[in-house]
Amino acid sequence: MGDDKLPKQSENFSEWYNQLIQKAELADYAPVRGCMVVRPYGWALWENIQKELDSRFKASGHVNAAFPLFIPMSFLEKEKEHVEGFAPELAVVTIGGGQTLEEPLVVRPTSETIIGYMYSKWIKSYRDLPILINQWANVVRWEMRTRLFLRTLEFYWQEGHTAHETAQEAEEETLKILDLYTDFAINEAAVPVIPGIKSDAEKFAGAKQSYTIEAMMADTKALQSGTSHNLGQNFAKAFEIEYLDRNNEQQFAWTTSWGLSTRFIGAIIMTHGDDQGLIMPPRLAPIQIVIVPIFRSEDEQGIVMTCVNEIVKLLSKFRVKVDDRENLTPGFKFNDWELRGVPLRIEIGPRDVANNTVVAAQRDIPGKAGKLFLIIDNLDMQIEKILNDIHNRMLDKATKFRDSHIFEPKDYEDFKQIVSNGWAYAYWCGDPACEDAIKQETKATTRCRDLHQQKSDGKCIYCEKPAHYKTYFARAY
């Protein structure tokens, strides 16, 4: 912690973000440039994210496995767009066991190639399909400008890799996962993402089509928070993933891949945080409830701690921490847990014990307005409702913030104004030249075309030629 104060979010969003991560002990800088150490409080958040995603993957028929960290350089070269996309970002092992390697090994930036190779071994007939495998893994991309959680040399993610009999099944899988990510983001993290389709320029290197969930951060910048790719037959052809179909003919399989990473922690921080620090969404919070006992004498301590211990038992289904640190004032503790974003704080003093009540402070509503006086009986049921209310308010607030910062521009001048502090929802003709010009002139990139958008008639915001779909444009992380 230290005594130095957190910069205000409104005054320096970037410094607020960097310092908050360190002060709240979510992560720290590693001694290797661009790498991070995810500290226990940050990792506990990631474990809760993993648990929620993993149970959804398994419920929809996916299984986990583990593929190697090292990929032969020649594998990446088999898919042209893929190697072009990743070549500049590779970390390469050239020495093993003291010897120079004959073929250098790439530290995986993603695993389509090595998994494609294994699938070509495992898949013989349509009976072997679909294959629905996910892995939880670390990957490495040699980024030049790094930011904790948002862009680090090494990061943690899950990557799903599936293979199917038909193009339609692969497309259904891709969209099913996009839907799963959307559900997770909204209902667990209270992050109101917009699911949509990436432009060709923004899609995954080697994909036929990429889908994304896009979130608006509190500085109005966009954060791509998870992606799902329909790879068509690109990787199947590169790695000869073939199967004997129901008519006894050889076919290439149709594959997908999809991932959500520790970057999502950045989305949580920047969607919900305020000047006091983090605000953890209750369903993912490493600590859902912190209890601060308050007493002035040993007698009072005995009375208060007896009550605290009973309450801890009563709240056994929640993630609870009792802050019994000595030599720290209650005021210091309150600030500390606010900084760390614990959704609900319970204060218990001797008078509360006598009254059979506790004071509960809701993190998302600062000051007195957020305080509740609760009777201890049925505290667990009351708190279940309170945590749900906090989740709903956080989602509601973030959704309102997002919607109040999305505008449909009248013209390109208006567009430029909008993307300086919000997202523009504008017709785009689909020409990469317009997309690129907009990016050069305004720093705004295409984020996505929202799913299920009906075709309509308009003019491209840049070239003014006929356009049929609106796209979200924003500056992005």
Decide: 428 and 467 in contact? Cβ < 8 Å: yes
Q: Which two tokens stand for residue 386?
A: 């309170």
Question: Using CA atoms, how far apart are residues 36 and 46, in angstroms rounded to an integer?
Answer: 14
Instruction: Rank residues 71 and 213 by Cβ distance to a second copy and give the closer one.
Output: 71
Per CB under 8 A, the list member of 6, 49, 90, 236 interacting with a second copy is: 90
Q: Which residues is 224 bridged to in the sheet?
A: 214
Per CB under 8 A, the list member of 51, 55, 61, 65 interacting with a second copy is: 65
Decide: 275 and 363 in contact? Cβ < 8 Å: no
Cβ neighbours of residue 144 closer than 8 Å, sequence gap 6 or more: none
Taking the complex as a whole, how short is the minimal distance between the CB of residue 459 and a second copy, in angstroms?
Answer: 41
Taking the complex as a whole, how short is the minimal distance between the CB of residue 376 and a second copy, in angstroms?
Answer: 27
Q: Which stretch binds a second copy (CB under 8 A): 38-46, 228-236, 359-367, 389-397?
A: 38-46
Instruction: Rank residues 11 and 102 by Cβ distance to a second copy and give the closer one.
Output: 102
Per CB under 8 A, the list member of 19, 35, 151, 401 interacting with a second copy is: 35
Cβ neighbours of residue 426 closer than 8 Å, sequence gap 6 or more: 408, 409, 415, 461, 470, 471, 473
Per CB under 8 A, the list member of 15, 61, 63, 356 interacting with a second copy is: 63
Decide: 208 and 220 in contact? Cβ < 8 Å: no
Question: Per DSSP, which regions of 165-310 are E strands?
Answer: 194-197, 209-216, 222-230, 242-244, 250-252, 254-261, 289-293
Q: What are phi and psi of 65, to 5 degrees?
A: -155, -175
Instruction: Rank residues 90 and 429 by Cβ distance to a second copy and give the closer one.
Output: 90
Instruction: Rank residues 193 and 265 by Cβ distance to a second copy and give the closer one.
Output: 265
Would you count residue 53 as binding a second copy (CB under 8 A)?
Answer: no
Question: Using CA atoms, how far apart are residues 362 and 394, in angstroms rounded to an integer?
Answer: 11
Would you count residue 189 as binding a second copy (CB under 8 A)?
Answer: no
Question: Using CA atoms, how far apart are residues 212 and 240, in angstroms rounded to an integer?
Answer: 28
Among 124, 359, 161, CA closest to 259 = 161
Would you count residue 2 as binding a second copy (CB under 8 A)?
Answer: no
Instruction: Rank residues 105 and 189 by Cβ distance to a second copy and give the closer one.
Output: 105
Per CB under 8 A, the list member of 57, 86, 126, 156 interacting with a second copy is: 156
Number of residues that bind a second copy (CB under 8 A): 56
Would you count residue 318 as binding a second copy (CB under 8 A)?
Answer: no
Per CB under 8 A, the list member of 1, 10, 15, 37 interacting with a second copy is: 37
- Identity of the residue numbered 149: F
Q: Which two tokens stand for residue 255?
A: 């594959």
Residues 106-135 that bind a second copy (CB under 8 A): 107, 114, 117-118, 121-122, 133
Question: Using CA atoms, how far apart are residues 169 and 254, in angstroms rounded to an integer?
Answer: 8
Per CB under 8 A, the list member of 7, 39, 430, 463 interacting with a second copy is: 39
Binding site for a second copy (CB under 8 A): 28, 30-32, 35-40, 42-44, 46-47, 63-72, 75, 87-98, 104-105, 107, 114, 117-118, 121-122, 133, 137-138, 140, 142-144, 153-154, 156
